[in-house]
Structure 1
C-alpha cells in the first residue's frame, strides 16, 4: 500500500485507489504516517488533529476517528496499541517520509544522486488537512532546500555555508503569520514585518528566507545613519556571487550591491530598520526600481513608507503558544516544565508579559534560580527582574528595558510625551477622545498614530491601546522624572470633562452610547478617581464622582458608590455648585438606606436641618438630578421615621404640583415613576395605574430606555391587577427588550420573571416553562448568585403552577441566598417553599417556612411581598381545614396589594380548595383598611 501527500492526498493498495473521507480522519492518517511503524500517543495525536479546538474527551473522539479510518484502510493497517495507535507501514510506503529519509541520507553521504531522487518525489506542494500541520510543511520545505543545494553537485570537499543562520531553538506558534509572510512575498515585492520589540520579527523573517534560492541577509541593527548601503555591500559577498561579467570593479557600496543583484531573482532581508528608517526606505526603493526580479522582506517597528509596501503585523503570541513557549524555556532552565500546581502561575506570568516572546524567554530563564511564584511577584518591577538576558544576545535584546529603550531613542519629543501620557490611561484612549486628551498634554492627536506606526501603541476597536510592558515602561519614565502625579492629574482633569459631557446625554436616547463610553473607560475613570482621592482638593473629586453617578446607578454599581461617597462627601463643605449638591444629597439619602444588618443613626432635627439646606441649594443649582433631591430626601425622612414601626406605609413620595410643573420632562417622568412605586407599595391600585401611565408616556416621549423599562414594569403590575393580562404581557416583554444590556443580568431576569408570572396567570404553562429554561441558561452564563436565584425562583413558580410540589421544592431548595440578600427576596423564597410543601401535604414544614417568611416580609415594608406571603398563608389554612382564616388571609392579601390577584396560580389553587367565592370578606371579619400591615394580626393567621 502507498500513501502520498505531495500534490494531494492519495491512498492506494495495488491498483485500487481509495479516498479517506473527512478532515478528522485525514488528519489522523497524516499524523500516524509521519511516524509510520511507531506508536503515536493519544496526547500527541490530539494536539495535531485538533490544534485549536480540542473536544472535551479527546481519547473518546480519537477512538471514534480511528474506528472510521480503519474502515477506509485495508485490514490490519491501523493498530490500536497501549497508549495510542500505530500505522503498520514502512516509511518507504509514504512519500513524505521516504522524501525525508532520502534527504537525510543525501546530506550524510553528500550524494547528489540521492538528493535528486528525493526531489523526484516532490510532484506538488505537500497536502495537509489544516494549518495545525504547518510544522510538517516547514520541515519539508527546509529539506527541499538542502536537496536542491546537493543536487547542484556542490564540491564535496567544501560544504556550502548555510545562507540563513541555523535556528538554535524550534519555532513555537506563528504558523499563521509565517504563511502570511510567504503569501505576501509571493505577490508583493516589498513586505514589512511590523511588530513591537521582542515579538520575533527576525526569527520569522529568517524562517521565511530559508527556502529562497538566492537570499541576501542584512542585519541593520549595528548600522548608523549613512551606513545602510555599506551594510548591504558587506553582506553581498556572503550571500550572493558578484556578477563576474561586470566590466569594471564597482567603486561605491551602492554600485557594488546593484551590480551584485542585477539580473537575479533574489530575496533581500533588511532586518531591524526602525532606527535608520528613512535611509532603509530609500535603499529599498532603489533596489526595487533597479532590479525587476528582486523582492525585499524587511523587519521594523514601523513601516518603511515605500509605495507598494505590504505588511504583516506581528502582535503578541496567542495564549496557548505563549504558554507552550514559557513551558519549554522553563524546562530548559531548570530541567522540568511547570507542574500542574504551577500552571495558573505560569499562565499569569505569560499574560502579564503580553505574550511577547522575548519577555517570556527572559522570564523563563529566571526559573533557574527562582520559583515561578517568585517570578510572578517580581514582575511588579519587571525591568529589574528581567535585567539579565543571554550573554551573546544583541544589546537591545539582553534586557527588557533595553528592548524598549531601542524604540524610545527613535522618538520625537511629542511622541515621548504621548507614550508617557498613554501609560496613565490603563483602558487606552478612544479615537473620539484623542483630540481632547492630546490637547491636555500640549501635543497633537496625530502623535498617537505615529506611536501605532512605531509598534508602541495598537489601534483596536476604535481605541489606542498599549501593551502592559510598554505601559510599565512609560510609568517608570514618569516616576524617574517625578512627573507621574502631574500626568495623572491631567488625565483626571480631561476625563472629568469628557465624562461630564457624556453624562449629560444619558437621560434620553443617548443612554446606551453613554454607558458604552463609561464601560470602555472603566479603569481610566477608576484610576482618575484614585488620583483625586489622593489629592488635597476634594472639589475636583466631587466633580468627577458626579459625572460617574448616573452610569453607576444604571449599572447598579452600589459597591463602589458607598466608599466613593465616604471619600468625597463632606457635610461641612460649601454647597457651591451642582456637583456638590448632588453628592451631598446622595450621601444623606444613602445613609438612610444602610446595608443589610446595619442600623442608621437618625437624629430627626439634624436630618431635617440638613435636608432643608440641601433643598435650598438644589433650587440655586437646578438640573435634571437636583430637582429630584427634595422629594427623595423627604422620602428618606419618612423611611427613617417609620424604621421602628412594623406597620403602616413605610414610604411615600411627597411631590408638590409646583415641583412637577417646573421639572424638565425626564425629571417629571421620574417623579411620576416614584409615585407609582409608592402606590404599588401602599396597595393603592388606582394611583399605581394613573402614575405608571404618566411615567411610561413621558419616558417614551423622552426616549429614555432605563426609565421606560422601569415604568413599564410598574405599568404591567397594574395591568395584572386590572385583569388585562395580554396587555400586561406585551408591556412586560417590551420592557425586557428595552433594558437588555443596560442593567445587571439579575435585573433583566427579574423583568423576565414578571412575564413568566403573567404567562402562568394566562394558563400558558408550556410557554412559561420555555421562558424559565432560557432564564436558566442566561443565569448560568452570568454565574452570579443573584442571577441564579432569580432563575430558580421563576422555575419554582412554574412548578407550583403545574401542581408539581416535588419539582417546585427542588428548585426552591437549590436557591442559595447569600448573607445580605434583601428581606423581601428571602421572604418570597420562603413563601414559594411553603407553597411547594403544601402541595406535597407536608404541612408542618410549610408552617415552619411561613413562620420564618412572615416577619421578614413585614420588616421589608414591601407590600406586594407581604401579599404573596399571605396567599401562601391562605393556602396553608385551607389545607388544614381553616377555611374562614384562609378567606381572611386572602382578603388581607387583596387589601395589602390593593386588588385581588385572583389569576395568580396559587391564589386559584386556594380558591379551588375553599370551594367558594372569596371575592367578599366573610361576615365575621372586621373591615380591613387599604394597605394595612399589622404584624400581630398577620402573624396570628398562623396560630
Structure 2
C-alpha cells in the first residue's frame, strides 16, 4: 500500500501510526526505512538493508542482531534483502519514495515476489506503480481536525492560546492552508509573535511568513517553500510548464480547459502531476461528468510565482480569458431551451473562472472582451437572481467606453443579430449596441439604486434612453435590449410601455423570434396582471407564453408564465385557480433547481392561500420561505415578511406582526429594495391603528402617502393611495373621541373615488373598508356621513392626502 499526498500532508506520521497499530500482528517486527537522504537511486537497496540492520530504526519487534549480521555479508543487497525477508512475517515502511520512485518500485516488486510474509507500506507523492499496489490518498485535514491541530500546536507556541478567541481567523488559516498539517504547524509557530488575524491577513505572502519549522526535521520540512521546492525539483520541464499555467485558473478546470490554456503537453503532464500529488483530480458534480483538476492554494501561489519568473503570465491569462469567454458565449443560447439545466450547472461550475476572465478583461481595459462576457452572462444573472453581480460588472464594463446614451437621444439602426453571436472584434454597429447593452443591464438593476433615477439628472437620462429606440426594433426584442422598457417604466408612461410591448410582440412574430415572443408575452402578462383592468388580457398572454415555453422545453420561462397567469387570476379574485398556477410553477422551478425563483413563487402561493381561505397553510408556506433564508430571491424575504405581518395582524398577533416588519426593514436595507416602501409604511400604520395608537398610525400613513403618490408608484401600484385613505380613516375616526369623524368620512369617499377602474379588492382590503365604514357611521348620522363622503369623492389625491 502507498500513502499518497502532497508535501506536509502527514504521510510519514500516518505510516508510523499504522505501523504501531499492526505491530502485534507482525511477529518479525515493523521496520522503517527513511529514503529522503538517499540521493542516488542505486543506493536504495543498500539504504533499506542498512535500516533493517540498525536497532534504532526498529519500531516494534525483535531480531535486529540477526539482521545486522546478515547486513555485513558482501552479497548483492537486493539478493540479501530477499533472503532475509523471505521467511519472515513483517511490515516494511518505505518513507519518502518520490525522488527515487523507480528504484523503490523495482525493489518492492522484487521483494514481494519472493517474500510471501512481507507487507510493504510506502509513502510517496506519486504511486510506485507496482502490481497489486493499493493507493491510499492522505487527504488534507477536514476543518474540525485542522482546527484541533492549530489549537494544539498554537497552545504549545503560546501558552493559553485557543482558537475560540478568534474562530473566524482560525478557520481562515486552516482553509487557506488547505488543511495541510505541516503548513498549519508552521502557522501555529508564528503565534509566538502574531495574532491569528495577522497570520490570516498575511497568507498571500505565505512563503515568507511560514519559515519557522522545527530544527529537528529534514530541511525540506522546515519552511513551506522548502516543502514545495522539493516537489518542484522532481518535475520535468513539461510538467513545470503545465503547473505554472494551471495557476491562472480559479476553482479548478476540466481537461478541455487545461489543454486550451496549457498546450498540447497538458494531458500527459496532468496525469503525472496528479500522480505526484501536485494536482488534485476528482469527478465534477453529477453522474457521467468529466474529471476536474485543481491546485491547492499553496501550490497556486508557488506556481504563480514561477509563472511570473518566466514572463509568460500575459499569454496564459489571455488563453484563459479567450477560453472562458467562448464557453460563456456558447452556453448562453442553451439557457433558453431544454438544455438549460445543464447549461446552468456548467456556468455555476465554471463561474469563478468566468469571473476571473471578466476581472482580467476589465483590468486590462479590453472593452470588447469585457462587453462580450457581460452580455453573454446577463441572462444567466437574470435567471439566477444575481443582481448584485449584474450591477457590479455592468458598472465596471460600461465605464470602459464612451456613453452611448447622451442627449439629445439619437435613433439607432435595426440590428437583428445579438452582440455576442460572434467573438470579438465587433463591427462598429455591433460595438455601439454592445455598449448600450451594458448600460441597459445596469439599468435593469434599478431597484438597487432607485433614488438615483428619481433625481432630475436621472430622469433626464431615462428620457434619453427611452428616446433612443423605437418600439418594435429587433434588438429590443432580445435581452439585454429588451430591458429598454425599464427606462420607459421609470418615466411613468404606462401607455407607452404597453405600446412598446405590443410592437415587440408583432416584431417577434414577423421575424420568427420564438423564444423572444414567449418572453415578451410573459413580460406583458406580468405588467398587465398588476393592473386589474387589464388582468383578462394578461391571462391570454400568459397562456400563449406557457405553450411556447413548454414546446421549447424552457422550464424557467414556463414557471414565469404560470406565475404571471397566477397573478392575473389573483387580481380577479380567482384564488383557487391562482394557487394551482403557482403550485405548477413551483414544480417547474424545482425541476430546474432555481432557488431564487422558488422563493418568489412560495411567497405568492402563501399569500394567495391566505386570501383564499387557507390561512394556516399559507402562513406556514410564508414561514418556509423565511426558513430558506439566503437561498431565496432578494425580493422574496421582504415580501414574505410583509404578507406575514398582514396575516398576523388580521389574526390579532400584533406583536409578532411588528417583529416581522422590523426584520423586513432590515431586509430592505440589505437588498436596497425600496419601490414598495409606501406599502410597508401603510401596513405599519394599519397595525398601529389596530392597537389604538392613532397619532403614530397617521404619522406613518402620511409617510406612506408621500411614497405612494410619486409618479412611478402610481404607475406600478395605482390602488395604493386608496388603501392608505381607508387606513387613515380608521385612525382619524379614533382621534379625540370622534372629533374628526367628518374627515374620516371624506377619506372614505376619496378612497372609493380614486380606486382604479376594475380594481379587485382583496379580502383584507374588504375587511378594512368595512371596519372603517362601521366606525365612521357609528359617529355620524346618515345625512352627515353622505355629505362628507360626497365631498371626499370630489377631492384630488393631494387634497385627500392633506386631510391625513
TM-score of the pair, normalised by structure 2: 0.81
Aligned to 1:215: 30
Q: Does 1:554 align with 2:383?
A: yes
* 1:886 has 2:748 as partner: yes
Q: Distance in 1 between matches of 2:120 and 2:5?
A: 17
**2:692 matches 1:877:** no
Give runs of aligned pairs for residues 650-729 of structure 1, distance below 5 A. 651-654=497-500, 655-656=502-503, 657-682=506-531, 683-729=533-579
Aligned partners of 2:625 and 2:640 also within 8 Å: yes
Shift of 1:403: 0.9
Which whole-Å CA distance do the structure 2 matches of 1:312 and 1:301 have between them? Answer: 11
CA drift at 1:202: 0.7
Checking the alignment, whether the CA contact within 8 Å between 2:792 and 2:800 is kept in structure 1 is: no
Partner of 1:529: 358
Task: Indicate if the aligned counterparts of 2:440 and 2:481 stay in contact, CA closer than 8 A.
Answer: no
3-state SS, counterpart of residue 279 of structure 1: helix
Shift in alpha-carbon separation, 1:244–1:777, aligned structure 2, 3 A: closer
Output the CA distance in 1 between the equivalents of 2:709 and 2:159: 67
**Structure 1 pair 627–348 and aligned structure 2 pair: CA distance change class (3 A):** closer
Of 761, 767, 771 in structure 2, the residue corresponding to residue 901 of structure 1 is 761
Q: Confirm or deny that 1:382 pairs with 2:382.
A: no
Q: 1:876, 1:588 → 2: CA distance? A: 40
CA shift in 2, pair 1:672/1:320, >3 Å: same
Cα deviation, 1:268-294, whole Å, max 9, x if unaligned, reads 111111122222222111111101111
Q: 1:679 to 1:926 in 2, by over 3 A?
A: farther
Between stretches 257-266 and 801-810, larger displacement belongs to 801-810
Q: Which residue of 1 aligns with 2:83?
A: 259
Task: Report if the CA contact (8 A) 1:265-1:294 is conserved.
Answer: yes
1:462-482 Cα deviation digits (max 9, x unpaired): 132221111111111112222
Q: 1:540 to 1:427 in 2, by over 3 A?
A: same
Higher helix share: 2
Task: Give, in angstroms, the shift of residue 673 of structure 1.
Answer: 1.9
**In 2 relative to 1, CA 408–862 (structure 1 residues): closer, same or farther, beyond 3 Å?**
farther
Deviation at 1:343, TM superposition (A): 4.3
Give runs of aligned pairs for residues 192-203 of structure 1, distance below 5 A: 192-203=2-13
- Do structure 1's residue 435 and structure 2's residue 256 form an aligned pair? yes
Larger Rg: 1
The residue that corresponds to 2:42 in the other structure is 226
**Matching residue within 653, 675, 680 for 1:824:** 675
Equivalent runs, 1:413-428 vs 2, <5 Å:
413-428=237-252
Alignment partners' CA distance in 2, 1:245 and 1:750: 81
Residue in 2 aligned with 1:366?
A: 190
Q: Go from structure 1 to structure 2 and tell me whether the alpha carbon gap of 1:708 and 1:313 turns closer, same or farther (over 3 Å shift).
A: same
Q: 2:489 matched to 1:489?
A: no
After superposition, give the CA deviation of every residue in 1:441-499 in whole Å (9 maximum; x if it has no partner). Answer: 21343533432222112223513222111111111111222222222221111111112
Alignment gaps of 5+ in structure 2: 59-63, 285-291, 405-425, 734-740, 776-785
Partner of 1:498: 327
Instruction: State the shift of 1:512 in Å.
Output: 2.6
TM-superposition CA deviations, 1:775-823 (whole Å, max 9, x none): 33223x6699865533322321222343544543443344324447444
| Aligned equivalent of 1:736, options 586, 600, 617 | 586
> Which residue is 2:179 aligned to?
355
Match of 1:843 in 2: 694
Task: Evaluate the alpha carbon distance shift between residue 589 and residue 534 of structure 1 in structure 2; reply closer, same or farther with a 3 A threshold.
Answer: closer
1:170-181 matches, within 5 Å, as none
For the 8 Å contact 1:708–1:735, the answer to whether it is kept is yes
Range moving further from structure 2, 660-669 or 468-477: 660-669
Between the aligned partners of 1:857 and 1:742, the Cα distance in structure 2 is: 37
- CA distance in 2 between counterparts of 1:691 and 1:413 reads 63
- Shift in Å, 1:350: 2.5
1:450 counterpart residue number: 272
Q: Are residues 355 and 669 of structure 1, via their aligned partners in 2, closer, same or farther at CA, if it must alter by over 3 Å?
A: same
Maintained 8 Å contact 1:437/1:491: no
Q: Residue deviations 1:321-346, cap 9 Å, x none?
A: 22222233233334442475444433
Task: Say which SS state the counterpart of residue 295 (structure 1) adopts.
Answer: strand
Answering whether residue 440 of structure 2 is matched by residue 602 of structure 1, we say no
Q: Is the 8 A contact 1:653 1:675 kept in 2?
A: no
User: Does the residue aligned with 2:622 lie in a helix, a strand or coil?
Assistant: helix
Relative to structure 1, the CA distance from residue 794 to residue 336 in structure 2 (aligned partners, 3 Å threshold; closer, same or farther) is: same
Secondary structure of residue in 1 paired with 2:135: strand
**Distance change in 2, residues 1:887/1:282 (3 Å):** farther
**2:251 touches 2:294 (CA, 8 Å); kept in 1?**
yes
Contact persistence 1:333–1:364 (CA under 8 A): yes
After superposition, what is the alpha-carbon deviation per residue over 1:755-775, rounded to whole angstroms, capped at 9, x for unaligned? 122112221122122223323
Q: In structure 1, list runs of 5 or more residues that go unmatched.
A: 1-190, 917-921
Determine the C-alpha separation between the residues in 2 that align with 1:217 and 1:806. 71
* Distance in structure 2 (CA, Å) of the matches to 1:640 and 1:349: 47
Q: Distance in 2 between matches of 1:373 and 1:768?
A: 46
Residue in 2 aligned with 1:910? 769
When structure 1 is superposed on structure 2, of 248-257 and 802-811 the one drifting more is 802-811
The aligned residue for residue 606 of structure 2 is 756
1:475 corresponds in structure 2 to: 304
Matched, 1:581 2:420: no
CA root-mean-square deviation = 3.6
Matches of 1:821 and 1:751 in 2, distance apart?
Answer: 21
Counterparts in 2 of 1:630 and 1:515: CA distance versus 1, 3 Å: closer
* Aligned residue number for residue 770 of structure 1: 620
User: Using a 3 Å threshold, how does the CA distance of structure 1 residues 230 and 628 change in structure 2: closer, same or farther?
Assistant: closer
Following the alignment from structure 2 to structure 1, what is the Cα–Cα distance between the partners of residues 386 and 281? 29
Specify the SS of the correspondent of 1:267: strand
Deviation per CA, 1:288-323: give whole Å up to 9, x if none.
110111111011112212222122221112222222
Tell me the equivalent position of 1:135: none
CA distance in 2, matches of 1:827, 1:421: 54
Q: Distance in 1 between matches of 2:567 and 2:202?
A: 57
Rate the CA distance shift 1:307–1:409 in 2: closer, same or farther, 3 A. Answer: same
Q: 1:786 to 1:603 in 2, by over 3 A?
A: closer
Distance in 2, Cα, partners of 1:514 & 1:796: 39
The reply on whether 1:515 has 2:344 as its aligned counterpart is: yes
Q: Secondary structure at the match of 1:425?
A: coil
Change in CA separation of 1:386 and 1:794 when aligned onto 2, cut-off 3 Å: same
**Residue matched to 1:858:** 709
Q: Could you tell me whether the CA contact under 8 Å between 1:827 and 1:865 is conserved in 2?
A: no
Of 415-424 and 557-566, deviating more is: 557-566
Shifted more, 747-756 versus 906-915: the winner is 906-915
Cα distance, 1:869 vs. partner?
5.1
Partner of 1:278: 102
Deviation for aligned residue 1:229: 1.5
SS at match of 2:122: strand
Change (3 A) 1:912 1:494: same
Aligned residue pairs: how many? 725
Contact 1:556 1:743 in 2 (8 A): no
- Aligned-partner Cα distance in 1 for 2:441–2:716: 24
State the TM-score, normalizing by the size of structure 1: 0.70
Quote the Cα distance in structure 1 between the aligned partners of 2:247 and 2:559.
39
**Whole-Å separation in 2 of the counterparts to 1:414 and 1:911:** 82
